[in-house]
Amino acid sequence: MAKSKKVVEETPEQRILDNTVGQIEKAFGKGSIMRLSDNSFEAIPGISTGALSLDLAMGGSGFPRGRIIELFGPESSGKTTLALHVVANAQRSGGIAAFIDAEHALDPTWAKRLGVNLEDLLVSQPSHGEEALQIA
């Protein structure tokens, strides 16, 4: 005797949700929105900050590769230095980095001392926050 298959009828709400997810994926690409239950998360390789304790605090591998990272904090708290360490490590591993210098605080001499290859660094110094977000 053949086993009967359960047929789950889709509710109107489920059809609307599926349609909405489809529209978002069409506009922004597959994987731009997903259910947490889909188990479709991939391990994202990281770029070391140069500080093992900080890398471990962020999941073990530093900043996620291929993502936009925003650093914020008080003046002179080390945001630019941390970013430049990550840029240098990304470049050492063959990556390309872009630095959006919203504070106009980038010191090329300091960047070079930290190991940044200035010739390969992409830099933007936007005039306001909205412009920075558009560039990113």
Q: Which residues contact 61 (CB under 8 A, 6 or more apart)?
A: 45, 46, 47, 48, 55
**Domain map of the chain by residue range?**
9-41, 46-135
Query: What Cα–Cα distance (Å) separates residue 28 from each residue in 9, 10, 33, 52, 62?
Result: 29, 25, 9, 35, 26
CA distance 68 to 51: 20
What is the C-alpha to C-alpha distance for residues 13 and 18, in angstroms, rounded to an integer?
A: 9
| The CA-based dihedral angle spanning residues 122, 125, 129, 135, taken in that order and rounded to the nearest 10 degrees | -30
Q: Could you read off the pLDDT tens digit of each residue along the chain, which spans 136 residues?
A: 566 666 667 899 999 999 999 999 999 888 788 877 766 667 788 999 999 999 999 888 899 988 888 889 998 999 999 999 999 999 999 999 999 988 888 999 999 999 999 999 999 999 988 888 888 7
**pLDDT value of residue 3:** 63
Query: CA 33, 39, 45, 51 torsion: positive or negative?
Result: positive
| Residue-level pLDDT at 37 | 74
- Measured CA to CA, the distance from residue 15 to residue 23 in angstroms comes to 12
Q: Report yes or no on whether pTM surpasses 0.85.
A: no
pLDDT score, position 81 = 93
Residue-level pLDDT at 129: 83
Q: Give CA–CA dist 34/114, Å, rounded.
A: 39
Return the CATH superfamily for domain 46-135: P-loop containing nucleotide triphosphate hydrolases (3.40.50.300)
- Look at residue 111 in the predicted model and tell me its pLDDT: 96
Each residue of 95-127: pLDDT tens digit?
999 999 888 889 999 999 999 999 999 999 999
